[in-house]
Amino acid sequence: MSKTAPATMRAVVVEGGKGPAEALRIGTIPTPAPKPGEILIAVRAVGVNRPDLLQRTGNYPPPPGTPGTLGLEVAGEVIRGAGRWQPGDRVCALLGGGGYAEYAACDARHALPLPNGLDFVHAAGLPETLFTVYANVFEDGALKGGETFLVHGATSGIGVTAIKMANPPAPR
């Protein structure tokens, strides 16, 4: 599958730059142009998380150099590939912003393949949780097989995911 993205796209914008949910509108903005090492995703679903809600109210500024539009998690199809990703690949990804739109650009390293049996809607809520657990438990914490670790808040999304990732099911 090879598609070309249009010059402009529809996106969720916050009328006035910040405000309540009623300030959300559909607007037309330029389609992002991926930088080297970035992929362009045709967005099929987005995750909604606390930073999105805080950004909408003006209490969480987007990181420098990232889109000012909301949306940190998406799932969709790669339109322009980079790294291991080819056009047509089904991915979910963690962004610096800009996911509440028809197209989103992101670092190719911040995308994951859509898990088997998972649709775009469910996959859109995975990236931030998976990357957070992986970075904290396995990179920073260096958890190895056979070790034990304590999860505070084990019933949260992060906690449940940490338990599952640290204790994967045995192969069949």
pTM tops 0.85, yes or no: yes
pLDDT at 1: 44
DSSP string, 79-109: EE--TT--TT-EEEEE-SS--SBSEEEEEGG
> Do the beta carbons of residue 85 and residue 39 sit within 8 Å?
yes
Q: What DSSP assignment string belongs to 46-91? A: EE--HHHHHHHTTSSPPPTTS-SS--SEEEEEEEE--TT--TT-EE
Sequence letter at residue 137 = V
The whole-number mean pLDDT for each consecutive block of 10 residues of the chain, a chain of 172 residues, reads: 82 93 96 96 95 91 86 97 97 95 97 94 93 92 89 88 85 75
